[in-house]
Amino acid sequence: MVNFFTLVTGYPGASGYGSATTAEQVTEGIDASNLTAIVTGGASGIGLETARVLALRNAHVIIAARNMNAANEAKEMILKDNKSARIDVLKLDLSSLTSVRECANKFLALNLPLNILINNAGIMFCPFQLSEDGVELQFATNHLGHFLFTNLLLDKMKQTAKATGIEGRIVNLSSIAHLHTYPGGIRFDKINDEDGYSDKRAYGQSKLANVLHANELSRRLKGASTTCYVALHPQLKGETGKYYVDCNELEPYALAKDEELAKKLWEFSENLVNSATKLKQIN
């Protein structure tokens, strides 16, 4: 386990890595040439560094991003330093369930395997607003879009694992902000209410949802440095449903381990997706 002292100092934890460790260091010596990975939000920040290092380790990387100009620039930047990199880009606006479905369908049409899905993209501390599907924007973008995207690609990941014998990995990026959410964790009955809205608590709510989603997904499947470590490192083979900070397992907030809350979130998310889809069909 890692503690807050190691977070501040960068001192290595049990894994041998810490907050001072780079993505290149944690993946040194790993050959990912037989792997295909999707990185949402891979055009900037942690997502871009993740995409770059996965490509450096010879993985076929698909950058899924809202801004296609930025995505193509990221692709060219990676290729400039690594001419043999295998990089493709797809448009993905996680605040739009229509865009999520279109992106998943376009990927499936490529008839590629899928070993790694890194749900990285997100927005932070936004003023209150609703997505085009009528869902509070931070929850819609950070959680609901990834929830649907993951579900649409699960069968492909299962098929790939069965055909190759290589364990698939789904990585949900959360943050310590999952500690700072609304009372009770998720405002199920007030998810879209402006009354009582807090941009910071709404963000924390969405990050808590990321952890709960990973935990419930783990139960249902039984089956930038930290991201690459979790995605590629062989010492995590067989590990599932865990929360990692700076390449070390960290005990998450109590609500993040609540199985009933995770199940309720899963059902709530399914209902949101279904109701938004039906509303668009009617209109």
Q: Active-site residue numbers?
A: 197
Alpha-carbon Rg for the chain in angstroms: 18
Reduce the secondary structure of the chain to three states and give it as a string. Answer: CCCHHHHHHCCCCCCCCCCCCCHHHHCCCCCCCCCEEEEECCCCHHHHHHHHHHHHCCCEEEEEECCHHHHHHHHHHHHHHCCCCEEEEEECCCCCHHHHHHHHHHHHHCCCCCCEEEECCCCCCCCCCECCCCCEHHHHHHHHHHHHHHHHHHHHHHHHHHHHCCCCEEEECCCHHHHCCECCECCHHHCCCCCCCCHHHHHHHHHHHHHHHHHHHHHHHCCCHHHHHHHHCHHHCCCCCCCEECCEECCCCHHHHCHHHHHHHHHHHHHHHHHHHHHHHHC
